[in-house]
Chains A and B, each alone.
Chain A
Amino acid sequence: MSDAAKLTSTQYIEHHLQHLTLNLHNFAFATKNATGFWVLNVDTLVVSSLIGIIFIAGFYVAARKATASVPGPWQNFVEMLVEFIDNQVKDTFHGRSQLIGPLALTIFVWVFLMNFMDLVPVDLFPRLVELSGIPYARFVPTADPNVTFALSLSVFILVMFFSIKVKGLGGFGKELLTTPFRTKNILVKLILMPFNFLFNLVEHLARPISLSLRLFGNLFAGELIFILIAILPWMVQWICGGAWALFHILIITLQAFIFMMLTIVYLALAVEEH
């Protein structure tokens, strides 16, 4: 915080919470308070893509070299992860799908790595890019709701796709209208239909929202606390920062795991009959 003299605490925090934006209307970079839908958070896109590419590259190397003979340390680690996730998928998801395993692996590792950016000192990367002339940048992609919503909406679309694929359009529609309140009486059935539909609507819509907001909330709060710790006097910073970072290791892993697990569960529910 070399600019501390020039910045108040509020300004410092605001600065840290400002995305590097690209307005798609006039292609202006870093305009403050760029609102509207057609704005890109360039920092989020770049950082998350870089992290994803690192993940894919690392795993691709392991996958290319994967043999049934004695594995090296990296292959061992990757295999351990894959096996762990494969077991989770097999325990929960009883259908056969080529997609669920890779999907769960991608979510878990990618989200974990994006969360992990939270443990990098809050001023390190922003300061570095500031030196190269970029005024704002946020480096925790999962603290951006766009990322978490992108993930949860993709999962939502997959759930819809699987529901319709397995049960058929009619079967899925019937499920929406006749559960959770069931009856044999035709008349009562008709009366219950709107209520059932409302229930299911809320249930299906609440899932992606809760899924994304849970991750976003945890990571945003975590980031904010790191920022707040950063404006404390330096004598106490390392104690608070250290303690919070240790605790945060648990949170980022847990949140990545929860996101993955719930994705599997939702997809499992989509293919199972009620």
Chain B
Amino acid sequence: MNLNATLLGQMITFTVFVWVTMKYVWPFIVKALQERQQKIADGLAAAERAERDLELAQHRIAQQLRDAKVQAAQIIEQAKKRSGLLVEEAKHRAQEEGDRLVAMAHAEIQQEQQRSRLELRKETVNLAIAGAEKILEQNIDDKAHANMFDKLIAELEE
């Protein structure tokens, strides 16, 4: 073991290598490492944010769904109410219509009765006149006795 000038040479070599490493190797690698670290951290943060966004969106969706259901229920309720109302109204109207028709029929029937009675009476009067003519064997002047017959009809009507 003998130390000699190689020692100095090696120290110079060592210094040069350390200098080169410090200048041209280390900073670039460390920078790349830090950048990648930053990138990964950013990526993870973004993923977390996205997850949170997703959760929020799901929350919102659930809320909207609930709202929609409530609204639908309300609409159905309203529709039911309205349909009930309509049915009621229709029934009412039908009833009125029916009543009106019945009343009209009644009136018609009454009129018909009246008219047939009148007819009948006229017929009866004519028959009576004819009978009287036969009995009297003589023509009665229609015009002269019309007044008397009308009075008679009116009497019969009462």
Contact = CB atoms under 8 A, between A and B. Distances in A.
Interface string A70-82: 0100010011001
A105 B25 contact: yes
A68 B7 contact: no
Interface stretch (A7-15, A149-157, A240-248, A264-272): A149-157
A146 B10 contact: yes
B25 A56 contact: yes
Q: Which of the four size classes fits the interface of chain A?
A: 35 or more
A82 to B, nearest CB: 5
Given A68-B36, A154-B14, 15 more contacts: A37-B4, A39-B5, A45-B9, A62-B25, A64-B28, A66-B32, A67-B32, A71-B32, A98-B22, A99-B22, A101-B26, A103-B18, A105-B26, A106-B18, A145-B3
A46 to B, nearest CB: 10
Q: Which of the four size classes fits the interface of chain B?
A: 20 to 34
25 contacts: A39-B6, A41-B6, A45-B9, A45-B10, A48-B10, A49-B13, A56-B21, A60-B25, A62-B29, A63-B24, A66-B29, A66-B31, A67-B35, A68-B35, A68-B39, A79-B32, A82-B26, A101-B26, A101-B30, A102-B21, A102-B25, A106-B17, A145-B1, A146-B10, A149-B3
A63 B3 contact: no
B3 A37 contact: yes
B26 to A, nearest CB: 4
A40 B26 contact: no
Contacts of A151: 10, 14
A86 interface: yes
A150 B24 contact: no
A150 B6 CA distance: 8
Given A38-B5, A145-B3, A150-B14, A56 B31 contact: no
Nearest to A81: B29
Contacts of A68: 32, 35-36, 38-39
Contacts of A79: 29, 32-33
B26 A146 contact: no
B2 A35 contact: yes
A82 B9 contact: no
A144 interface: yes
Interface in A1-34: 24
Nearest to A99: B22
A83 B33 contact: yes
A16 to B, nearest CB: 15
Contacts of B35: 67-68
A110 interface: yes
B126 interface: no
